[in-house]
Amino acid sequence: MRFAVDAHAIGRHLTGNEVYVRSLLNAFAAQDQDDEFIAYVSGESAARCIPANIRTRRIATNPFMRLGFDLAMKVRQDRPDLLHVQYTAPLACPVPVVVSVHDVSFLEHPEYFTRDRAWQLQWSVRRTVHRAARILTGSEFSRSSILKVYGDLDEDKVVVVPNAAASEFRPIAREAAAAVVREHFDIAAPFVLSVGDLQPRKNQIGLIRAFARLVNAYPQLKQNLVLAGKETWFGDQVYKAARESGVADRIQFCGFVSDADLLQLYNACDLFIFPSFYEGFGLPALEAMACGRAVICSHTSALPEVVDGAAILFDPYALDEIVRALADLLLDGELRLRMERLGLQRAAHFSWQKTAQRTLAVFHDVLEKLRSTSDVYSQTIAHR
């Protein structure tokens, strides 16, 4: 079979979407099977990130050109059996579509987006999920949310295929990681790490306020707070919260960081905190666990399902709970070591090879059912 993948996110700092499609393609390439893959990329350097046994084709960077014309034209030329996309399919796709919808926060919490972005996602994703042969998502939480907001979908159409931390995320020597972090980011003090684009649903403002309370309540703690993540339209409000926190000298922003640098940051930090209000999966928590770090995170959305008892949970709307969770782990070395061991065990349950196998099984099932339906239709016409 020939499968096409819209990989335009690769090389464009589209964070979670980029990690997902890059990891999936790497795992596809490693599968021992006869399927052929085509990856449609936008960035000039993107093809270098894709395994050599996957053919690449350039498509337009502009989303209106890509979705309105270019991607569908390339699909007609290449004639794959199926196209896999994230969130949005091209307007006129000549082959079956499987779509990955990681979450529906744009419908359940449109306040996390600019008005135009929320509207665009609401319109384009609705059209895609109704057009798609299958909808993939990373957690049971997201599956339930998708079925709730698109109430007329067949339940069997939405399939849970969990994500995973990339194999690059692993424990490395703590001292060596700290040295790299000092050199690359000028971070010398011990630190607590949080990762995520600077946007409302990641709750960096709440974390900053909780960290200020922590510093005032426990002056013996020497950790700084390090925030790694791409700047967005919401960034100025996060920076303002840091300036007004009273502990601005202990808060550092790293901006967007590569996976190589992220590996060093995970391994160098004392613990990882993920205070997000809403996650369809919550990959950074799993990445931190895979690096052997103790994790504390929100008890909302998909996060309890993903960490499954291997993290300390808190209410992201309750600053005192965030403070208590931070203090418990920073002050109790034995508890921190226990959570590190549990995290490593939990992360080992996930792998991109499993994700790729399950995804390919869905692709083949879609085509088998379409072929079966077509055969039944042809037999019916013949009998007539």
pLDDT digits (tens, 9 = 90+) for 113-122: 999 999 999 9
Assess contact for 34 and 68: CB atoms under 8 A. Answer: no
Bridge partners, 228 (sequence order): 195, 255
Nearest to 84 by CA among 197, 168, 167, 1: 1
Write down the domain spans for the chain. Answer: 2-164+351-383, 174-347
Note the pLDDT of residue 33. Answer: 75
Whether 2-164+351-383 shares its CATH topology with 174-347 is answered yes
Summarised one tens digit per residue, pLDDT across range 322-380 is 999 999 999 999 999 999 999 999 999 999 999 999 999 999 999 999 988 765 444 43
In the chain, which ranges are E strands? 2-6, 36-41, 55-58, 82-86, 97-100, 134-137, 158-160, 191-195, 224-228, 251-255, 271-274, 295-298, 312-314
> The pTM is what?
0.93
Instruction: Find out if CATH 3.40.50.2000 is the number for domain 2-164+351-383.
Output: yes
Residue range 174-347, CATH number = 3.40.50.2000
- Non-local CB neighbours of 314 within 8 Å, separated by 6+ positions: 275, 296, 297, 298, 299, 321, 322, 324, 325
Per-residue CA distances from 359 to 163, 293, 336, 366 (Å) = 11, 29, 35, 11
Summarised one tens digit per residue, pLDDT across range 197-250 is 999 999 999 999 999 999 999 999 999 999 999 999 999 999 999 999 999 999
Burial class from Cβ neighbours inside 10 Å (0-12, 13-18, 19+) for residue 82 reads buried
Assess contact for 291 and 169: CB atoms under 8 A. Answer: yes
Bridge partners, 296 (sequence order): 273, 312
